[in-house]
Structure 1
């Protein structure tokens, strides 16, 4: 009865039609006062933010999309158990992270929280890559959801504070960069896995690059702030 399942899932975007239609939208910058794309591309902070968004999307989706396959191939779990414990728990912990950010974000030192999340993400990728213990490997997958939860909204918040006149074009570029990372990350992990005799641990090891680059970009951004 997969057709009825599809109809049930269709209820979610149907409800969102009402949500989007009735949700008030606050315009932070008037369109005529916002920076253009050319102006944005001439601003170093925007390039750093784009790199952060690419790495954020790649770090998140590389783990989220391959967690189930990792649980099956590397840890020997069943398809059902792999889906429930892998991507499902990943999504729950990511939601918890964003809930905390939404509730207490104004009181946080966002740069430190982002840095801590990046370090935690590196540790999680190392656990999934190096550990042969199913519990430890799955713990890496699950906790990774918490570590990446802050990256996307955190980057947008940091950039909007540094570039208050960025306008609609800036947020469009950041969204595009995040989506680009979300497609590149899983693609690279899958390509490396396929070309290493389907060894998904090797693919996950390549995914470690994304949170590492994110940490480097955060360091450059923080250094620029202090100077």
Structure 2
């Protein structure tokens, strides 16, 4: 009942919060028009990788802390997904406060690089504390990926409208489903070796970082 206070407060916050419309009614692009824009497909890829990078670690953090790092169930739950969520919240709070002073593209590239380092650290480290630290810091690295990808796309395609945001959200959910599934499948095939599954998860932030570098290069060329 105490925890229920938080969503009740947010009901009030959202009810009085003004919502700015990205485009005027009837001026948003149709789906078939969006599908003809190459940048939109790159944004879809960003969202898939963002969702996969976030949920692969979030959903498997507890099991990873127990099986691969040898921690107890209680410690694994608190130090795994709980601290992951805390650091992710810190990342989004910091960007929400100081975002106007930061270059979103560079911040996203740095976050993708940090996420890749965290996955590598968690999967290859033989020291439980360092592996756990990789899990925790991964939350900080993925905090900006999902909202950042949407911001980049909305800035590049200002007339995308509702259809664009709906498809981007669907792509993020798709990545959030595929990522943990791939990590779990590889873990099972490797004899329930969670570290090998997490190592396979490195592909998601790596693809995200390469895509952002290509997008940043195109931005410089246009400038």
Deviations 1:149-171 (A, max 9, x none): 11111111111111111111111
Q: 2:110 and 2:7 mapped to 1: Cα distance? A: 34
Q: Which residue of 2 aligns with 1:141?
A: 135
Moved over 6 A (4+): none
Cα 1:8/1:194, change in 2 over 3 Å: farther
Residue from 96, 108, 112 that aligns with 2:106 = 112
Question: CA shift at 1:133, angstroms?
Answer: 0.4
Name the stretch that deviates more: 137-146 or 213-222: 213-222
User: Within the alignment, does 1:188 sit opposite 2:182 as a pair?
Assistant: yes
Aligned alpha-carbon RMSD (Å): 1.4
Matches within 5 A, 1:32-47: 32-47=26-41
Q: Which residue of 2 aligns with 1:209?
A: 203
Q: Which residue of 2 aligns with 1:159?
A: 153
> Is there any run of 5+ residues in structure 2 with no aligned partner, and where?
none
Matches within 5 A, 1:10-21: 12-21=6-15
Q: 1:213 and 1:175 mapped to 2: Cα distance? A: 19
Cα 1:130/1:98, change in 2 over 3 Å: same
> Is there any run of 5+ residues in structure 1 with no aligned partner, and where?
1-6
Matches within 5 A, 1:116-127: 116-127=110-121
Q: 2:11 and 2:89 mapped to 1: Cα distance? A: 22
Deviations 1:122-169 (A, max 9, x none): 100001110010110001000101111111111111111111111111
Q: 1:93 and 1:139 mapped to 2: Cα distance? A: 11
Alignment partner of 1:142: what SS?
A: helix
CA contact (8 A) 1:31 1:168 kept: no
Question: CA shift at 1:24, angstroms?
Answer: 2.4
Alignment partner of 1:139: what SS?
A: helix
Residue from 64, 67, 80 that aligns with 1:70 = 64
User: Within the alignment, does 1:24 sit opposite 2:18 as a pair?
Assistant: yes
Deviations 1:22-58 (A, max 9, x none): 3322112113111111111100111111100100010
Q: 2:167 and 2:3 mapped to 1: Cα distance? A: 30
Alignment partner of 1:81: what SS?
A: helix
